[in-house]
Structure 1
Amino acid sequence: MTPSRRACLKLTAGALASAMAAPAIARSDQNPTLMTQAGPVTGQNKAGVHVFLGLRYGLDTARTRFRPPLKPAPWTSPQAATRYAAAAPQAGTPDDWGQSEDCLFLNVWKPAKAATQLRPVMVYIHGGAYTTGSGGSPLYDGTHLALRGDVVVVTLNHRLNAFGYLYLARLERDVTGVSGPLAYSGNCGQLDIHLALEWVRDNIAAFGGDPAMITVFGQSGGGAKIATMMATPAAKGLFHRAATMSGQQVTASGPGNATLRANAFLTALGLQPDATGLAQVQVLPVAELVNALKATDPVIGKGGLYFGPVLDETTLFRHPFWPDAPAQSHAIPMIIGNTHDETRAFLAGDPRNFELSWEDLPARLAPQLRVDIDPYLVVDTYRKLYPAMSASDVFFAATTAGRSWRGAIEEVEARARAGAVTYAYQLDWKTPKDGGKYGAPHTLDIPLVFHNTAVPDSLSTDSPEARRMADLMSDAFIAFARTGAPQSSSLPAWAPYTLEQRETMLMDLSPQQAYDPRGDERRLFGKVPFVQQGT
């Protein structure tokens, strides 16, 4: 979770019957104890929800740095699952849980009341690009969502940045002449998520969850990780529905660019791309690796090093959503959503962006669009489309359409061409926070979907209107987890997205289904190729 984000912030019928017959080995109102495949765990009873925090799904990754994760060794005595575990190493400390390579843990919330059948499971993948964040943010607390939807909620941690996505495979082959243990290094963070989903598949029935009804949902980087799994063979069958919130991964990093970054990372550590350097980077102290993340990215040319999924031909064999939607996930229903004013979350912190003149706008706009298009054409088009907009309004609208919303359009249109059922939404409701200057920014949908508007400093605020929007958003996601369609009684008819009508639900206090909203903006940016920044 970057500073700006921080501010805005599968089983057979027989196996199912067996799991339902005896899900718990012991239980009391205060310390529910359940049996997992690895051993018993004891959680807490809080406000009608059984909460299990810090459940281990993988071994300490210090033992497998830059290699695939391993399942934990079994235990016999009940392990306490009463506090969040450490997040993956990263710049800064996420929340209050610290950092460690021993980070493969997940968290579960389940309604305490008995159920007559297994509940839908909602697994949240956190954002923060592929660089920061954890499943322990207060915004991701699953209490309200579990109770409102009568569902089981799961959040998780996994390896991030260089620990999860440093591509050393080509360097290893250059040195040894063969593919070795580092062949999977560029996608270890994804492999961690796969292992967590395997844990859910194999254990969630003991928590009252249905392993045949698993929804993955995620915002920003979390959505991008889900988009990547939609095209990853090893992830096939691990989930049954997918929802992404302002999080796309149209293209992955090519192995050439990923190798450039690996070299830059080793250089920042004072290492050579040889046998000695490859050996040393696997044992250096965590703090040194985290510090080296600040090296200038050799592909983007600015900022710290970008790390994300790699087209490594070992785990990932194609780009997630280019040149088309991956066939392996055509049958998985999907929600693809965005917020109307995405970039106000990143760019509203600079007061100059609220004081732009028309003369200043083209130069200010160009580097923020992330696609190669004439900024003067963009400005002229927006002024014709929206004559009441100020220069600053155009700045935020065009950067949103060019660099954030564009990825969502690429994905939803690719799935529509394939006939894959996809529901599109646009969050139009504007938060009143700080006088309303953010509009409907990136991350605003998180507290609404989790129904956590009362979390201190929530971007949504806890106003009556925010709580109403939380009702609408969380009910849509709950309905999707139950049925594969986000239709709730509070929403008008929500049809899947088609190329003929481009059906999109506009989420506001009075939600409505629109047809090709912002179509002129879509056509403007659709004339230039889209390659995801960093890839």
Structure 2
Amino acid sequence: MTTVISLDGSFVAQSQDNDVLAYKGIRYATADRFEPPIAYRPNDEPYEAFEYGSSPMQTPGMLELLLGLTEENNNEDCLFLNIYTPAKNSSEPLPVLFWIYGGAFVNGSSSIAWYDGSNLARSANAVVVTINYRLGVFGFLGSTNLGLLDQICALKWVNRNIAAFGGDPENVTIFGESAGGASVVALLAARDAQPYFAKAWAMSPSIGQYSDIKRSKQQVNDLLVHAGVSSEQELRQLSSSALLIAQQKVIDHSNEQFSAFAPTQDDVVLPLDLLDAAAKNPKPFVIGTNKDESRLWVMFDPNENQLDELGAVKALSTRAANASDIWSLYKSSRPTYGPSQIVAAYDSDANFRKHAWNLLKTREENACPSWSYWFTWPSPTFDGLLGSCHALDIPFFFANEAIAGADVIIGSGETQTMLSSVAAKSLAQFAHAGEPDWPRYKTNDRPTYVFDEDCRLEQQPDDDLYDYWIQVLVNETS
């Protein structure tokens, strides 16, 4: 057994295959319901960090259930982190990879097997940190931004303590997927987070999910109605299960694409124009999306997964005014896609890719270094139904393509092994050197690294779709 003594406690590790040490379930903060986190200072007794801490309160969604997350270990007391570090002592401090999970800000846990940092720590020669943060009504009620404050509190803990685990507190890369990717972008904009990380990598960030003061006030009012109470003080007295039931009712009655619970541009934790601040942050930044993000939802929606052309155009008309033109544009760009796949392709770009394109464009205008990637490898599972869907890339960047259960979603074989090696090495390169091994993004040729069976650099991918979405963004802001 290995014991580490840090500023905030002594921790006993669990060996992972002898070459990686795992410290699980380290408490970094405590928090009362609806209150900011308070940094945790333990007593002097060594803590046996062998088991994950409690997961945040939630009702697991479809993807979380597929990944093995249940409600059995959920608790409001959930502010724990895990550290994975190479067992062999390094003569120099190692870069730190700080993971923020996704789940629409209502789901997720650092205990999900896909997020085990052992293989990434080994392959990247880096210290990997994975954290829990509060979700839904517990983390994002109104404009509190408590879940984001949890993330910042965890970053502060890492800054104080990670040197004892072999990590470099001056070389922390934050990375996350979906809501975790949106958290990464939000942290780029959050003033109080800036001293605690050096670089950022956002995977399929749900950038369109951010809230504002008006929407956050409406969210609180809706929650009070569905909870059957008249004040926030009464919410404090409800059971956690009653709050989750009311939360789900708010989501079900909301017209938000993902969840009514998300970081709020409150002018306190976050600036009123979050994306403008993120676009002006000079820290090195990588952003990417998956080609078929929205197949994860559309292809499992009985109302949309068996559409013909007429049905697809009708479905598109609920999303935009020029449905016939959109159909023609996407059918030309994706000629092998069926009608339901076309709808999913449109949704993928509307909800993810257009925002990534826009942030890359504005960061270049501000001379802030950025890099673009596109994950296009399609999963062979479910008879190819998933394509390169949302979250499919996670086990590859974690070098976890071969862990138990991963084959259910991504299959197995030489291609998966190769793709995992390339993806994890790209992330490691960025963590060590501050830039990946492909050219910096420029709007004139938009160099984009493509992760697929034949990984490659592409210039100006999907130029027709890019032009369409940039014009949409112009129209939205005019």
Identify the TM-score tier after normalising by the shorter chain.
over 0.9
**CA 1:352–1:160 in structure 2 vs 1: closer, same or farther (change >3 Å)?**
closer
How big is the shift at 1:291? Answer: 1.3
Residue matched to 1:480? 430
Report if aligned partners of 1:261, 1:297 keep a CA contact under 8 Å in 2: no
Note if 1:348 corresponds to 2:264: no
Residue matched to 1:401? 349
Q: State the SS of the aligned residue for 1:107.
A: strand
Mapped to 1, the partners of 2:175 and 2:229 lie a distance apart of 39
Q: Deviations over 1:43-62 (max 9, x none)?
A: 21121211100001001x2x
Note if 1:134 corresponds to 2:109: yes
Report if aligned partners of 2:204, 2:290 keep a CA contact under 8 Å in 1: yes
Mapped to 2, the partners of 1:233 and 1:437 lie a distance apart of 42
Mapped to 2, the partners of 1:149 and 1:133 lie a distance apart of 24
* 1:428-443 paired onto structure 2 within 5 Å: 428-443=376-391
Q: Deviations over 1:313-346 (max 9, x none)?
A: 2211223214x6443x22x111101111111112
Note if 1:517 corresponds to 2:453: no
Paired amino acid for 2:20: V
Note if 1:334 corresponds to 2:292: no
Residue matched to 1:56? 27
Paired amino acid for 2:414: P
Q: Find the partner of 2:4 among 9, 31, 34.
A: 34
Q: Deviations over 1:359-383 (max 9, x none)?
A: 111112234x4xx442112012233
Residue matched to 2:217? 259
Residue matched to 1:224? 182
Note if 1:461 corresponds to 2:445: no
Mapped to 2, the partners of 1:531 and 1:262 lie a distance apart of 31
Structure 1 residues not aligned, in runs of 5+: 1-30, 168-184, 488-493
* 1:61-210 paired onto structure 2 within 5 Å: 61=31, 63=32, 65-92=33-60, 95=69, 98-167=73-142, 186-210=144-168
Q: 217-226 or 407-416: which moved more? A: 407-416
Mapped to 2, the partners of 1:73 and 1:402 lie a distance apart of 44
Mapped to 2, the partners of 1:519 and 1:363 lie a distance apart of 25
Q: State the SS of the aligned residue for 1:496.
A: coil
**CA 1:420–1:373 in structure 2 vs 1: closer, same or farther (change >3 Å)?**
farther
How big is the shift at 1:70? Answer: 0.3
TM-score of the superposition, structure 1-length normalised? 0.83
**CA 1:465–1:134 in structure 2 vs 1: closer, same or farther (change >3 Å)?**
same
Note if 1:45 corresponds to 2:3: no
Note if 1:291 corresponds to 2:245: yes
Report if aligned partners of 1:257, 1:299 keep a CA contact under 8 Å in 2: no
Report if aligned partners of 1:227, 1:248 keep a CA contact under 8 Å in 2: no
**CA 1:32–1:366 in structure 2 vs 1: closer, same or farther (change >3 Å)?**
farther
Q: Deviations over 1:477-531 (max 9, x none)?
A: 00000001111xxxxxx11111111111111232221112111012223322489
Residue-pair matches, total: 466
How big is the shift at 1:385? Answer: 4.3
Residue matched to 2:275? 321
**Larger Rg: 1 or 2?**
1
Q: State the SS of the aligned residue for 2:189.
A: coil
Report if aligned partners of 1:250, 1:320 keep a CA contact under 8 Å in 2: no
Q: Deviations over 1:181-213 (max 9, x none)?
A: xxxx52111000000000111100000001111
**CA 1:92–1:252 in structure 2 vs 1: closer, same or farther (change >3 Å)?**
closer
**CA 1:353–1:285 in structure 2 vs 1: closer, same or farther (change >3 Å)?**
closer
**CA 1:445–1:384 in structure 2 vs 1: closer, same or farther (change >3 Å)?**
closer
% same residue: 29
Q: State the SS of the aligned residue for 1:224.
A: helix
Q: Deviations over 1:216-251 (max 9, x none)?
A: 111111000111111111111211110011114257
Q: State the SS of the aligned residue for 2:99.
A: strand
Mapped to 2, the partners of 1:308 and 1:351 lie a distance apart of 27
Q: State the SS of the aligned residue for 2:195.
A: coil
Mapped to 1, the partners of 2:365 and 2:187 lie a distance apart of 20
How big is the shift at 1:437? Answer: 2.1
Mapped to 2, the partners of 1:250 and 1:291 lie a distance apart of 25
Report if aligned partners of 2:223, 2:250 keep a CA contact under 8 Å in 1: no
Paired amino acid for 2:449: M
Paired amino acid for 2:471: K
Mapped to 2, the partners of 1:304 and 1:214 lie a distance apart of 29
Report if aligned partners of 1:248, 1:411 keep a CA contact under 8 Å in 2: no
Report if aligned partners of 1:36, 1:203 keep a CA contact under 8 Å in 2: yes
How big is the shift at 1:354? Answer: 4.9
Q: State the SS of the aligned residue for 2:421.
A: helix
Mapped to 2, the partners of 1:514 and 1:283 lie a distance apart of 55
Report if aligned partners of 2:226, 2:250 keep a CA contact under 8 Å in 1: no
Q: State the SS of the aligned residue for 1:360.
A: helix
Paired amino acid for 2:244: V
Q: State the SS of the aligned residue for 1:342.
A: coil
Report if aligned partners of 2:307, 2:340 keep a CA contact under 8 Å in 1: yes
How big is the shift at 1:386? Answer: 4.8
